[in-house]
């Protein structure tokens, strides 16, 4: 069932819950960015002379700031922008790639993924798109090779069992569909979700919206995520948001199982309770880097 796309989605319950994957259900953000994304970023973007600063910028935009969990293309373009302004990088006289072709593509394309970028690079012959595609494809290959045996956070499967009894569940992520299907199946938790909506399906907002059209009341839709982008997607469709706090994921899932899930189902989640959770969540992710 989980390999079905949103085109096969059907409404079976009054409640709908979207669950992010990397950093939310799985402890996979660190290994993916530090071992797969960033080494390929340094290699394919010619950042060897400033690798230390490239790593710091990419870790900030993807893991330790308000842009945590964003799609890879805008997040890594932002890392380049941060590097461009950094005194230590300027002092080294390194020419950073502008990637204007990629910036233009990010503005006009909603399904930002390796599979959509490849044909566009081929069609246009744009050297920026070709460079970005080579990087993104290398990242996907590295993730496929490197990321396995990374289990869900403790408490996730208990939460899925509890939610599944009363809600339709979808994985709502910016990760490529293939990687999501592999990870959820590997740990036997794909059976709990109705479908997996990843990078190729569209943005998280688009995926939630597509399901919302089946007739769920906004107060009966919940997005669970570990990043401000998850919160924004929930807000954009009028849904509620439950944060998984970065660095405190196990405690967040424990609280969800002990109190938040029941509050969502009995209609007492919205308002003061949600506001308290979001206020706490926002403390963990700064907007500006320390440098």
Last residue of a domain, one of 99, 126, 146: 146
pLDDT at res. 100: 98
Give the model's confidence band at 290: pLDDT under 50 very low, under 70 low, under 90 confident, else very high.
very high
| 244 contact partners, CB below 8 Å, separation of at least 6 | 20, 23, 24, 153, 224, 225, 226, 252, 253
Q: How far is CA 92 from CA 28, 59, 89, 128, in A?
A: 33, 21, 5, 23
Q: How many CB atoms lie within 10 A of CB 88?
A: 12
Q: Does residue 289 sit within a domain? A: no
pLDDT at res. 1: 39
- Clarify whether residues 103 and 77 are in a common domain: yes
- Clarify whether residues 77 and 196 are in a common domain: no
Question: What predicted TM-score, i.e. pTM, was given to this entire model?
Answer: 0.86
Reported as a single tens digit per residue, the pLDDT across 137-180 is 999 999 999 999 999 999 999 999 999 999 999 999 988 898 89
How far apart CA 98 and CA 267 sit, in angstroms, is 49
Q: How does the average pLDDT of the chain come out, rounded?
A: 95
- Clarify whether residues 199 and 129 are in a common domain: no
pLDDT at res. 2: 42
- Clarify whether residues 123 and 46 are in a common domain: yes
Reported as a single tens digit per residue, the pLDDT across 58-90 is 999 999 999 998 899 999 999 999 999 999 999
- Clarify whether residues 135 and 244 are in a common domain: no
Last residue of a domain, one of 107, 131, 146: 146
Buried b (16+ CB within 10 A) or exposed e, 103-142: bebbeeeeebbbebbbebbeeeebebbbbbbbbbbbbbeb
Q: What is the CATH number of the domain that holds 18?
A: 3.40.50.1000
Question: How many domains, the chain?
Answer: 2
């Amino acid at each position: 069932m989980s390999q079905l796309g949103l085109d096969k989605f059907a409404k079976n319950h009054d409640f709908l819950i979207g669950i992010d994957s990397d950093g939310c259900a799985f402890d996979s953000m660190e290994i993916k960015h530090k071992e797969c994304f960033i080494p390929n970023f340094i290699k394919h973007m010619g950042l060897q002379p400033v690798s230390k600063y490239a790593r710091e910028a990419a870790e900030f935009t993807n893991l330790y700031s308000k842009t945590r969990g964003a799609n890879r293309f805008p997040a890594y373009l932002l890392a380049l922008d941060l590097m461009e302004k950094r005194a230590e990088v300027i002092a080294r006289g390194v020419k950073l790639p502008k990637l204007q072709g990629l910036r233009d593509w990010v503005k006009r394309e909603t399904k930002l993924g390796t599979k959509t970028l490849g044909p566009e690079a081929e069609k246009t012959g744009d050297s920026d798109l070709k460079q970005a595609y080579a990087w993104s494809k290398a990242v996907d290959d590295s993730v496929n090779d490197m990321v396995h045996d990374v289990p869900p956070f403790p408490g996730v499967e208990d939460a899925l069992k509890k939610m599944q009894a009363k809600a339709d569940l979808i994985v709502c992520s910016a990760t490529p569909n293939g990687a999501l299907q592999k990870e959820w199946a590997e740990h036997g938790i794909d059976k709990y979700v109705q479908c997996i909506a990843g990078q190729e399906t569209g943005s998280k907002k688009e995926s939630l919206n597509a399901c919302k059209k089946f007739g769920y009341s906004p107060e009966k839709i919940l997005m669970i995520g570990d990043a401000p982008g998850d919160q924004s997607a929930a807000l954009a469709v009028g849904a509620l948001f439950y944060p998984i706090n970065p660095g405190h994921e196990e405690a967040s899932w424990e609280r969800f199982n002990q109190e938040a899930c029941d509050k969502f189902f009995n209609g007492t989640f919205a308002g003061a309770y949600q506001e308290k959770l979001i206020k706490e969540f926002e403390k963990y992710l700064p907007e500006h880097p320390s440098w």
